[in-house]
Chain A
């Protein structure tokens, strides 16, 4: 008797496991792959969501691989939810890998946005953040790139691929933006994305510059060279990327591929003056030369190494100088100082805006060319 009761109880238990209040049917949802945020009119928010368009079997060609839908309202959430006035399906935010911020919104300040990003459980911390440069996020999300038709997926892979190949910009996940805004002695940066118009109606997207924030507001941009300097100084290992030096003999460009680089920032307070000792260890491969000089010899390698060191030093100096001009501690100098001198940091923190531009640098770069790829001597044409 008891057994039968038990079995019927267990079967009853199965009923609630089949579904619950918070279920979402797949065919009732639309997957958001990219989000865009702009400021709209006075102080409203324009929320743009990009959805992929699936190809209809048997249909005659696709119009576009994606659609973007925008809505404006007073808060981020109501703006996002107003999109349900224009779209019949419930929106799955969890799969959006890209978050584009409009330049206007950045200039006005991210104060409310950071809390929204941290609090909202539908926004993934690993999504990449971009800053629309001289344009709006809604526009960025409506332009396909040259190769990939869907901008959101293209942006997400572009920022990762260029780090290995070109080595210019540093990706910023949502969590970096939020945590660097919250932690003292650190300011976030966000890679920029611009719309380039080559011919009439031939627009495409291109990564361009690094947006620098100060107290949650966009204050300026790092250019390409400065972005490279910023990249060398990031705390994690830098892999991939290129270094262009000039040939010690003729001055033509010579390319070194960076394999791995690691930087260290050590602060020092000497007679009231704050000095940052920056140490970069870099290893690279010799990759390309435009001249025909015999560069890959045991005698020439130390000379090339010195050239690399100089280039990296220059890039870092440029980046720090630009950050000091904008007065934004994007390298976490304040944080490094706090870890080494917790006592002094308590007083320095109040005057950090006055102190940061006066910080001096002592940069030491240790660059080594390890290998020369497939040829050991420069190949020349015989005739």
Chain B
């Protein structure tokens, strides 16, 4: 069975799925709500993401080797756990439908205006469904591959936009006080709360440390990447104009003209974005399917792939009559909905587990992971130092 994932795979899958959903439409919403402080709002949100990424895995770590429904069952009782599981399946289905609709609408907006979106949506989910059939390891490996391209993509956008940059567009800071900043953070909750997906794949990870590492890595990468894209759009366009555009990142990329021959690179960008979306669909799809299998006590998740996919495609077509309702849903409804069922629920689960003294205490685990991570960080820094000294000096310094 392909159901184990490594730390790096988990980190890449989560990061890609959040970055693809945050990279093209997102800066526009952020600039509409926080104005020129959009970049600052991303950093503020990053500070919230970090503790959240630890909170969501804590309940699961009390029950090593058990999946979501099993440990919910121990904490809350069997029937409530299954009902909670159904809520999660439904939320993932809605998330998948929203993701598919975001994907198809952007393609329809910019590249395929006449193609019926049902074709794009079904083809996308057909490919994703095939990788779900193969298991999560396959999705993880694809994520490792596409992740590199994804980071290259963002680096390219930023570097190539520097000739057009006007850094004074990032000021004035806090022009209208703290309120716009917090409004921007509110919108980003949609992205932030997806860290809970980590809790769903917890039992497939090697060790508790790797859960922490994946979570923290996720928080840092997504914050960094979204910060870079938002800041890039802001230095290329005045914020008031960027807030008018439907997909400000693509418009910013259209500006790129290096030396008269590196132009019109948006085709490459969209290609990488599409492959990122493949990972995103596959991950959400897989989680929906596997939790459904857990709830129904199925041995294998595969039998639920086809019905879930059909539901997702039809939901994605029926949920939103037009693009404004889609935007309203992703910026106003999803943040509240996800905060409640992902963050508040896991906090509640942790509190109940602690009070009812279920599972193993996680404090020693936290301490041990902290020690291990600081040790790994120190050894990484020292190896960097060693390489550096080996370059600048013939002999390493006597320590």
Q: Interface residues, chain A, CB within 8 Å of chain B? A: 13, 16, 20-22, 118, 121, 124-126, 173, 175, 178-180, 182-184, 186, 235-236, 335-336, 338-340, 342
Contact = CB atoms under 8 A, between A and B. Distances in A.
26 contacts: A13-B126, A16-B119, A20-B112, A21-B112, A22-B112, A22-B113, A22-B115, A118-B244, A124-B254, A125-B254, A126-B257, A179-B237, A179-B238, A179-B241, A182-B240, A182-B241, A183-B238, A183-B241, A186-B238, A235-B166, A236-B166, A338-B172, A339-B168, A339-B171, A339-B172, A340-B172
Given A22-B111, A175-B237, A342-B175, 10 more contacts: A21-B114, A22-B114, A125-B255, A175-B255, A178-B241, A179-B241, A183-B239, A235-B168, A336-B168, A339-B171
A235 to B, nearest CB: 6
A184 B244 CA distance: 13
B149 to A, nearest CB: 20
Given A20-B112, A22-B113, A118-B245, A183 B240 contact: yes
The list of the 7 closest CB pairs from A to B, nearest first, reads A183-B238, A179-B241, A182-B241, A342-B172, A21-B115, A342-B175, A21-B114
B123 interface: yes
B130 to A, nearest CB: 9
B254 A182 contact: no
Interface string B227-270: 00000000001111100110000010011010000010000000
A86 to B, nearest CB: 23
Contacts of B257: 126
Contacts of B109: 121
A215 to B, nearest CB: 15
Interface string B111-128: 111111001000100100
A339 B170 CA distance: 9
Interface string B82-123: 000000000000000000000000000111111110010001
Contacts of A178: 241
B176 to A, nearest CB: 8
Contact of B254 (A21, A126, A335): A126
A158 to B, nearest CB: 15
B115 A20 contact: yes
Contacts of B238: 179-180, 182-183, 186, 335
A180 B175 CA distance: 20
B105 to A, nearest CB: 14
Contacts of B168: 235, 336, 339
A126 B236 CA distance: 12
B399 to A, nearest CB: 46
B338 to A, nearest CB: 32
B106 to A, nearest CB: 12
Nearest to B123: A16
Interface in B166-210: 166, 168, 171-172, 175
Contacts of A21: 112, 114-116
A125 B109 CA distance: 17
B171 to A, nearest CB: 5
A121 B254 CA distance: 11
A182 B239 CA distance: 9
Interface string B280-291: 000000000000
B52 to A, nearest CB: 32
A182 to B, nearest CB: 4
Contact of B263 (A126, A175, A335, A339): A126
B244 A182 contact: yes
Contacts of B115: 20-22
A39 to B, nearest CB: 25
Contacts of A338: 172, 175
Contacts of A186: 238
A118 B240 CA distance: 13
A336 B238 CA distance: 12
B286 to A, nearest CB: 19
Nearest to B120: A20
Contact of B240 (A126, A184, A235, A336): A184
A347 to B, nearest CB: 14
A238 to B, nearest CB: 14
Nearest to B119: A16
A179 B245 CA distance: 10
A182 B172 CA distance: 17
A289 B41 CA distance: 56
A96 B168 CA distance: 31
A178 B254 CA distance: 14
Contacts of A125: 251, 254-255
A126 B238 CA distance: 16
A236 B162 CA distance: 11
A173 B163 CA distance: 14
Which of A175, A180, A335 is most buried by chain B, counting CB atoms within 10 A of its CB? A175
Interface string B10-25: 0000000000000000
A33 to B, nearest CB: 15
A22 B117 CA distance: 12
B308 to A, nearest CB: 19
A339 B376 CA distance: 44
Contacts of A340: 172
Nearest to A95: B264
A121 B110 contact: yes
A235 B168 CA distance: 10
A126 B255 contact: yes
Nearest to A125: B254
Nearest to A10: B130
A36 B298 CA distance: 66
Contacts of A126: 254-255, 257, 263
